Structure 1
Amino acid sequence: MKTNLQCFKAYDVRGKVPQALNEQIAYEIGRAFAVELNAKKVAVGHDIRLTGPALTTALIKGLTEQGCDVIHIGQCGTEEIYFAAQTLAVDGGICVTASHNPKEYNGMKFVQQDAKPISSEQLLRIKNLAETKEFPTTTVIGTVTKVDLSSQYKAHLLSYIDPALLTPLKIVVNAGNGGAGAIIDLLEDALPFTFIKLHHEANGQFPNGVPNPLLPENRVVTAKAVVEHKADLGIAWDGDFDRCFFFDENGRYIEGYYMVGLLAAAQLAKTPSQNIIYDPRLCWNTQAIVEKNGGHAYVSKTGHAFIKETMREKNALYGGEMSAHHYFRQFAYCDNGNIPWLILAEMLSQSNVKLSGLVEEQQQAYPCSGELNFTVTDAQAVLTTLNDIYSPTALKIELTDGLSVEFTHWRFNVRASNTEPLLRLNIETRADTILLNEKTAELTKIIQA
């Protein structure tokens, strides 16, 4: 009998345990994944959530009963599954994770061979097969091999910098009781940094709140610690640490938008004349920095599958989203939550300028609203209204992702969320905070009406 699995989302699997995702469903997803990819070997791991080990055991049972061998890398972050999929002879990888969701949630993120994202069509076929349970019969039972990739992964991360160029920085690190603390511990003996560790131990109960630094209330403890310890830098991660968030030496949170420009400049300084990918929500600063540093900037639709596809098409050196996802060609075009801070630490070591100074000019040249979310009943109707109001006088209209409208001194992007009944609005201006505030109020009023 066909079941209706609510845990399948636009890009991955996510749901409450056990209502939307449980061991039986994980088992069926394992079998379906093996069938869809015709997989002979798959890398599997799980984040720090309490339900991770049991769901992973069930997932592995499904994979092996469909004749697929499994390499089990244990507790990990999503980026470590990406690393396994690009360095081991496997046909794909699965990380059992719900990223920054509350503790009662879990999920799965999938990749193919060489850490390529699976397509929406593939995900739909996996869903349908897991629902119908019409699996091809097989008499072969796959094997399970446990592998520790930590030493190889450590070497890979350190390959992005020259340790000889580093100076003794003081860095506040907040893992949010997620998995990032293990990577800091892994790298610590190879770096001349003093780490002030907050919420460092992995704890799936999340005693200090959900590991989501996009929530302003979750930034306070990191900001305070930077000031208290007179640190050079603060870093916080989400649960599966595929995103990293930065604080300057004054404890001030740095919008992910400005980090995209900073990391693009750092990458182009080492490897000139390369392609850089950005998302359309906020873009003027990135375009200006890439052009100034001799690179070529290309826009991509928001979302990891789209960014990775565009990066592969353009053979891009680096791609960045304002949501704190940073993608690297050297990392199979995947996003990573540790490479960015290592690159930044090298920049700070070689510069007489603090982090606030590195982004101050960008922030003044292109002030932005940050992402504003609105709950709406009919997203398309709102988009149509905004298009009708603003397009007649606009210099440029772009529909790469939602609606982007550009004028001489300001621009905005508004797009519907892929996973929630929300409209997401971003506004930026050319060095005009008064105009920014005016247009933010103006657009807010229209959307809420």
Structure 2
Amino acid sequence: MSDLSQIVKAYDVRGTVPDQWDERAAEALGAAFAQVLNGFGEQDGEVLVAHDMRATGPGLAAAFAAGVRAEGRGVIELGLASTDMLYYASGALGLPGAMFTASHNPAQYNGIKMCRSGARPIGQDTGLAEIRERAQALLDKDEARPADASVAPAERRDLLADYAAYLRQLVDLSGIRPLKVVVDAGNGMGGYTVPAVLGDTVLPALPLEIVPLYFELDGTFPNHEANPLDPANLVDLQRAVIEHGAEIGLAFDGDADRCFVVDERGEPVSPSAITALVAARELAKHPGSTVIHNLITSRAVPEIIREHGGEPVVARVGHSFIKAEMARTNAIFGGEHSAHYYFRDFWFADTGMLAALHTLAALGEQSLPLSVLAAEYERYVASGEINSTVADQAAKVAEVRAAYPQADADELDGLTLRFPDGAWFNLRASNTEPLLRLNVEAPTRERMTALRDEVLDRVRR
């Protein structure tokens, strides 16, 4: 019997199949999802169900759909999809949905990202805890559901072309200069969505020459993990950009909701720089709007937002916090250090593909190489996220805080200490592992390195 407390996380469901969860658990989660939707007042309409390229996806998705249908709700099966394609369907059709994916996790994992109609997120405090409790109760009964002739219907629908057309009308690339673009899909869902959005498989061709890397859908990830935040997984993309003389490289994670950018030299462009670049573009269309950023993006981000007439608002790390702040403030855009990008024009949901379109447009609308363009948005030196295993996280954070009494402290999400010279660091605990995560930024590399090493010494001592 599955213990759902082991797989239901803060924002989604995630675990190994079949030892942590299986199709019976998926069916119970589907039934519980339908029940909780009724409690939200969303009794009407079908439930959208989609899955990525993992081998266990079709079976788990079908079982979840069976649980939904047994509760009297119809199901629209989208089949293969990226996570942001599921969000598109939820927003465009006004229906709740469930996406079966484990994002960048290894092949033995699978999971579910659930949303209410309009792509509104479901997390622990917004329905996920209740879904877990109801599903666990169904599993604990250990009773097979009887065949029921009155089970609600299911239909299959292909929304790939609609999704591509919607994104293209948000960012027009038809008039940009020709660009050669290397795209590493990591054998994930980018191999399905990139040809539709950036290529010519369903819509007219754009002035883009796409050089594909690992577009074959394969949930075993035979070439490298589909996690572009790990530098090891960018090596093939960096090499290909240089070998092909491309202007830009794009890397997507497994479910293609995150996008990482590489410049013409094969050098990574920080997600903070992409956040600032896209914010500037969106503020040009919507002056005075609010833009959300999480507290470990570069301090250049709020600076640039203000310089372009916008209002920066900081939020905790995590998509549920970003989406909640975006809805509360009606923000035009939001960005995270993890390469998640959120758009008001996309129901406040995250889509790496739309961020990629903005980046391609910014590059193609002028003549400078990406390295020069991106340098306008990269003002400081960052360490990137560094993890340390710590037995007592709270005690260690308190120890580090006491070591810097002169620093300005902020405890919105973990501990952030800011220094008079512009340097800062954030130290926060992982929600799921005995880890402390450190991010450091400073005006110079020397200052960043010295502060990073000093804090790490205290954390690991």
Q: Could you say which TM-score interval applies, normalised by the shorter chain?
A: over 0.9
**Which whole-Å CA distance do the structure 2 matches of 1:297 and 1:271 have between them?**
14
Deviation at 1:270, TM superposition (A): 2.5
Normalising by structure 2, report the TM-score: 0.93
Residue 129 of structure 2 aligns to a residue whose secondary structure is helix
Distance in 1, Cα, partners of 2:93 & 2:376: 43
Separation (CA, whole Å) in 1 of partners of 2:297 and 2:399:
21
1:12 matched to 2:16? The reply is no
Q: 1:22 aligned to 2:36?
A: no
Q: Is the 8 A contact 2:2 2:21 kept in 1?
A: no
Corresponding position: 1:100 with 2:110:
no
2:184 is aligned, of 168, 174, 179, to 174
In structure 2, what is the Cα distance between the partners aligned to 1:126 and 1:384?
A: 35
Q: 1:155 to 1:15 in 2, by over 3 A?
A: same
* Alignment partner of 1:370 is 2:384: yes
Gaps of 5+ in 2: none
Shift of 1:313: 0.6
Q: Per the alignment, in what secondary structure is the counterpart of residue 382 of structure 2? A: coil
Equivalent residues in 2 for 1:131-210 (5 A)?
131-133=136-138, 140-187=150-197, 188-189=199-200, 190-210=205-225
1:401 is aligned to 413
Question: What residue is the counterpart of 1:76 in the other structure?
Answer: 81
1:358 corresponding residue in structure 2: 373
Distance 2:22 2:363 in 1: 45
Greater shift, 348-357 or 216-225, is seen at: 348-357
Cα distance in 2 for partners of 1:25, 1:315 equals 37
Q: By how many angstroms is 1:158 displaced?
A: 0.2
Partner in structure 2 of residue 428 of structure 1:
441
1:27 and 1:111 mapped to 2: Cα distance?
17
User: 1:269 and 1:352 mapped to 2: Cα distance?
Assistant: 20
Report the Cα distance in structure 1 between the residues aligned to 2:178 and 2:366, rounded to whole angstroms: 13
Root-mean-square deviation (CA, aligned residues, Å) is: 1.8
1:281/1:426 contact within 8 Å kept: yes
Amino-acid identity (%): 39
The counterpart of 2:264, out of the listed 249, 256, 262, is 249
Q: TM-score, with normalisation over the residues of structure 1?
A: 0.96
Structure 1 stretches of at least 4 aligned residues deviating more than 4 Å after TM superposition: 1-5, 134-140
Give the whole-Å Cα distance in 2 for the aligned partners of 1:4 and 1:295: 43
Native 8 Å contact 1:255 1:370 kept in 2: no
**Cα displacement string for residues 127-166 of structure 1 (whole angstroms, at most 9, x for unaligned residues):** 1111111799998521101111122111111022123322
Q: Which letter maps to 2:88?
A: F
1:440 equivalent among 423, 439, 452? 452
Q: Please give the residue correspondences for 1:251-330 in structure 2 after superposition, counting only pairs within 5 Å.
A: 251-330=266-345
AA aligned opposite 1:374: S
Cross-structure match for 1:345: 360
- Quick one: which of 334, 348, 353 aligns to 1:333? 348
Alignment CA distance shift 1:192-1:419 (3 Å): same
Q: Post-superposition shift, 1:24?
A: 0.5
Aligned-partner Cα distance in 1 for 2:5–2:294: 31
The Cα of 1:417 is off from its aligned counterpart by: 1.4
Query: More displaced, 74-83 or 415-424?
Result: 415-424
Change (3 A) 1:13 1:119: closer
Gaps in structure 1 of 5+ consecutive residues: none
Q: 1:278·1:286 contact (CA, 8 Å) conserved in 2?
A: yes
Letter in 1 for 2:400: L
Matches within 5 A, 1:86-97: 86-90=91-95, 92-97=96-101
Q: Distance in 1 between matches of 2:441 and 2:3?
A: 45
CA offset digits 1:156-198 (Å, max 9, x no partner): 1102212332221000000000011111211212311000100
Secondary structure, counterpart of 1:165 in structure 2: coil
- Residue 277 of structure 1 aligns to a residue in which SS? strand
SS of the residue 2:292 aligns to: strand
Distance 1:4 1:393 in 2: 45
SS of 1:219's equivalent in the other structure is helix
